[in-house]
Amino acid sequence: MRDDRAETGAVASVSTQAFDVVVIGGGPAGMAAALSAHKASARVAIVEREQHLGGILRQCIHPGFGLSHFKQELTGPEYAQRFIDQVRATDIAPFLDSMVIGIDSGEGAAASASGVNEAPRATAAHTVTLMSPTGMLQLTGRAVVLAMGCRERTRSEIKIPGSRPAGVFTAGLAQRYINIENLKPGSRAVILGSGDIGLIMARRCTLEGISVEGVYELMPYANGLRRNVKNCLHDFGIPLHLSTTVTRVIGHNRVEAVEVSQVDEHLAPIAGTERIVPCDTLLLSVGLIPENELSVGAGVELDPRTRGAVVDQSLQTGVPGIFACGNVLHVHDLADNVTTESERAGAAAAAYALGGDAGASAAGPGCELTVSPAGIAGYALPGRITTVALTKLNFRVRRPVDAARVRIIAGSEELFAGKVRPFKPSVMESFPLPAKVIQRALGLGVSEIVLSVDPVEEA
């Protein structure tokens, strides 16, 4: 029989600590958000499941970070260390080697970070439950920032046929093996997918003496940044095969070869184009997925296009007091952009925690508009506009185009049209939406504005 008294005692014995803002994730997004919230005089905690702060940047030993934020080129660990040093110089409380298992919300009065009960108000008290090396712990805060990052898509998610031998890795796992664990994943590799991590690992494997037979990309264009295609493939003589994919994994105990096939305009393999490529390792760079299991458990609505949270201009989700930033919100191209976005989220979270809705309402009068993508725009963020103020819209296109323009549409009226220019899926675009355009949309009585990227036929 279950001992209810013992169970009640166990729950009652869980230690609780109070903060203004609790940040989940200690990578570049989490640290930037925490530092920004701390700068706004909030008492902040960071929860990180690894034993160290830094997140994925600890294994990204290549240069290219910090050009925007620090105005100099840094490696991933150098970029992360600058933020780690800043966090250590504050009274931000880090909870390392700790796994968050749930986020609960309670309406009404909440204890402040100093432990004093304050008068009831609209701000919800959120409880973050985590397992730490010392046992279960609960952190309370009026605001929570979700900064859990993203994970890699695996073989099972893209359904590659064939046997199941050893030697199939995601590119990020192979990167960790080489750069942190000092392990060699194989001797002869094929890379599927031309995302940035796949391109970077093609170069890294080559430098470690691993022969890279080629990078194979399903789409008719490379998915990584142009500089990575040049620096990682062209400079090392590694071939890039477009409109080609892996259609079978061959091998018993270890990968012995893969079958690759060309694909048609519908991305279906073309019969008769199959060929066998001998290798002992297959690295997958086939996309990233925001890590949002905790978000869903907290009642946060997700955008089916980004698989991240639906947020407003302050990066607040539909659950009051819960904010999202970085790759858990939408997959970014550059760590510098993650930092900039996360600083906004941290400042907004602190404003919310210390002053109710002050952070959201200070920018201007309230409104309620949804933002939807159209044309070749794959998504638009934020998904909601709740204040009449200058708003930064982020988006990506679904395919490269040499000439297109951004249009803002409300109902049947075009409110704004940008200049004609090229767009690439590998680049996260931003577009400033003036307050007067939002006001015009409200004046039309619409509840939705559309961000459309439309190709332009050149004369």
Query: What is the spatial distance between Cα 274 and Cα 269, in angstroms, rounded to a whole number?
Result: 9
297-320 pLDDT tens trace? 999 999 999 999 999 999 999 999
Closest to 258 in 3D by CA, of 172, 211, 204, 188? 188
User: What are 443's two structure tokens?
Assistant: 């004046």
Q: Give the model's pLDDT for residue 105.
A: 79
Q: Is residue 146 a contact partner of residue 29, using CB atoms and an 8 Å limit?
A: no
Query: What is the spatial distance between Cα 311 and Cα 360, in angstroms, rounded to a whole number?
Result: 12
Query: What is the spatial distance between Cα 335 and Cα 354, in angstroms, rounded to a whole number?
Result: 28
Query: What is the spatial distance between Cα 47 and Cα 57, in angstroms, rounded to a whole number?
Result: 17
User: What are 294's two structure tokens?
Assistant: 């905790």
Q: Give the model's pLDDT for residue 7.
A: 47
0.75 exceeded by the pTM?
Answer: yes
Q: Is residue 26 a contact partner of residue 50, using CB atoms and an 8 Å limit?
A: yes
Residue 231, classified by CB atoms within 10 Å of its CB into exposed (0-12), middle (13-18) or buried (19+), is middle
Q: Is residue 242 a contact partner of residue 223, using CB atoms and an 8 Å limit?
A: no
Per the prediction, the chain carries an average pLDDT of: 91
Q: Is residue 95 a contact partner of residue 137, using CB atoms and an 8 Å limit?
A: yes
Closest to 104 in 3D by CA, of 80, 139, 134, 69? 139
Query: What is the spatial distance between Cα 204 and Cα 361, in angstroms, rounded to a whole number?
Result: 48
39-86 pLDDT tens trace? 999 999 999 999 999 999 999 999 999 999 999 999 999 999 999 999
pLDDT band at residue 120, thresholds of 50, 70 and 90?
Answer: very low
Closest to 21 in 3D by CA, of 110, 108, 143? 143
Query: What is the spatial distance between Cα 316 and Cα 194, in angstroms, rounded to a whole number?
Result: 33
Q: Is a pLDDT exceeding 80 seen at residue 124?
A: no
Query: What is the spatial distance between Cα 280 and Cα 300, in angstroms, rounded to a whole number?
Result: 42
Q: How far is CA 185 from the centre of its chain?
A: 26
Q: What is the dihedral of CA 180, 181, 183, 189, to 10 degrees?
A: -50
Closest to 126 in 3D by CA, of 92, 100, 91? 100
